[in-house]
Chains A and B, each alone.
Chain A
Amino acid sequence: MGRLRFLVLHTALWLFASGVARAQTAPQAPVAVEAPVVLSHVDAVYPPAALPEQKHADVVLLVTVDVDGHVSKIDVATSGGDLLDQAAIIATRQWTFVPAKRGGVPVASRIRIPFHFAPPAPPPELVEPPPSPEPALDAQAAVPAAQSAPVAPTAPTAPNAAAPAAPIEIDVIGQATPPTHGPSDFRVKVGQLAVVPRQNASELLKLAPGILLTNEGGEGHAEQVFLRGFDAREGQDIEFTVGGVPINESGNLHGNGYADTHFIIPEFVEGFRVIEGPFDPRQGNYAVAGSADYELGLERRGMFAKYTNGSFGTHRLLLGWGPKNESAHTFGGAEIYQTDGYGQNRDAQRASAMAQYEGRLGERGSYRVTSQAYTTHFHSAGLIRDDDFRAGRIGFYDSYDHSSFAREQIPEGGDSSRYSLAATFETHADDTTLNQQIFLIRRDMRLLENFTGFLLDVQEPLQSVHAQRGDMLDLNVRELTLGARGSARFTGSLFGKKQELELGYFARGDQVSSGQQRLEANTGVPYKTDTDLDSTLGEVGLYADANVRPLSWVTLRGGVRAELLTYDVLDNCAAQSVSHPSATNPPIDQSCLTQQNFGRPREADQRDSTSSVALLPRASLMLGPAGGFSFLASYGRGMRSVDPGYITQDVKTPFASIAAYEGGVLYSLTSDRVALVARSVFFQTHVDKDLIFNESEGRNVLGAGTTRTGWLGAARATGSFFDESFNLTLVRSSYDDTHLLVAYVPAVVLRSDTALFSNLPLAFLDKRVRGTVGAGVTYVGPRPLPYGERSQDLFTVDASASLAWHYFELGLSATNLFNRRYRLGEYNFASDFHSQPQPTLVPERMFSAGPPRAVFATLGVYLGGV
Chain B
Amino acid sequence: MRIAPTPKSLTLLLLLVPLGCAGTTGDRLRDFPAAASGPGDLTSPLTFTTDLGWHVILSEAKLHVGAFYLDQSRPVSGAQDINCVLPGTYVAQETSGLDVDLLSAAPQYFPAPAHGSSLPAIVGQVWLTGGAIDDTSNATKILVVAGTAEQNGTIVPFLAQLTIGTNFAASGALAGAQSICKERIVSPIPSALTVEQTGGLLLSVDPRRLFVNVDFSELDMTTSAPFLFSNDPTSSDFTQPSRNLFDNLRSVGPYTFSWSGNL
Contact = CB atoms under 8 A, between A and B. Distances in A.
Interface of A: 387, 458-468, 586, 588, 627-628, 667, 669, 678, 680, 709-711, 713, 730-732, 734, 738-743, 747-748, 781-782, 784-789, 828, 830, 836-845
Interface in B155-189: 169-170, 173-177, 179-181
B16 A711 contact: yes
A579 B8 CA distance: 65
Interface string B180-220: 11000000000000000000000000000000000000000
Contacts of B97: 837-838
| Interface size classification for chain B | 35 or more
B23 A730 contact: no
B76 interface: no
Given A460-B176, A463-B176, A788 B24 contact: yes
A460 B116 contact: no
B173 A586 contact: yes
Nearest to A583: B174
A672 to B, nearest CB: 13
B21 A839 contact: no
A694 B135 CA distance: 29
B18 to A, nearest CB: 10
A743 B27 CA distance: 12
Interface in B13-55: 13, 16-17, 19-29
A413 B197 CA distance: 40
Contacts of B12: 711
A852 B224 CA distance: 69
Q: Is the interface of A mostly helix, strand, loop or mixed?
A: loop
Q: Is the interface of B mostly helix, strand, loop or mixed?
A: loop
Contact of A748 (B21, B132, B169, B170): B21
Contacts of A628: 1
B179 A586 contact: no
A837 B66 contact: yes
B176 A842 contact: no
B95 A789 contact: no
A678 B92 CA distance: 50
Contacts of A709: 19
A841 B93 contact: yes
A838 B133 contact: yes
A39 to B, nearest CB: 19
A786 B25 contact: yes
Contacts of A627: 1
Given A387-B115, A459-B179, A785 B82 contact: no
B59 interface: no
B246 interface: no
Interface stretch (B83-91, B141-149, B227-235): B83-91
Contact of B89 (A730, A731, A740, A843): A843
A276 B16 CA distance: 19
B127 interface: yes
A731 B22 CA distance: 10
B117 A787 contact: yes
A711 B115 contact: no
Contacts of A465: 134, 169-170, 175-176, 179-180
Contact of B19 (A586, A730, A781): A730
A784 B90 contact: no
B1 A781 contact: no
18 contacts: A458-B84, A459-B181, A460-B83, A461-B174, A464-B175, A465-B134, A465-B180, A466-B134, A710-B20, A732-B20, A732-B23, A740-B24, A742-B25, A781-B20, A837-B67, A838-B95, A841-B93, A842-B115
Contacts of A740: 23-26
A346 B177 CA distance: 40
Contacts of A464: 175-176
Nearest to A738: B26
B23 A838 contact: no
A458 B84 CA distance: 7
A782 B95 contact: no
Contacts of A837: 66-67, 95-97
Contacts of B256: none
Count chain A CB atoms within 10 A of each CB in B97, B118, B135, B177 and give the residue with the most: B177
A468 B134 contact: yes
Closest 8 CB pairs of A and B: A747-B20, A838-B67, A467-B134, A461-B177, A841-B90, A838-B95, A788-B28, A730-B20
Nearest to B67: A838
Nearest to B111: A837
Nearest to A667: B3
Given A460-B83, A788-B29, A841-B85, 7 more contacts: A459-B176, A467-B132, A586-B174, A730-B19, A788-B25, A841-B93, A842-B90
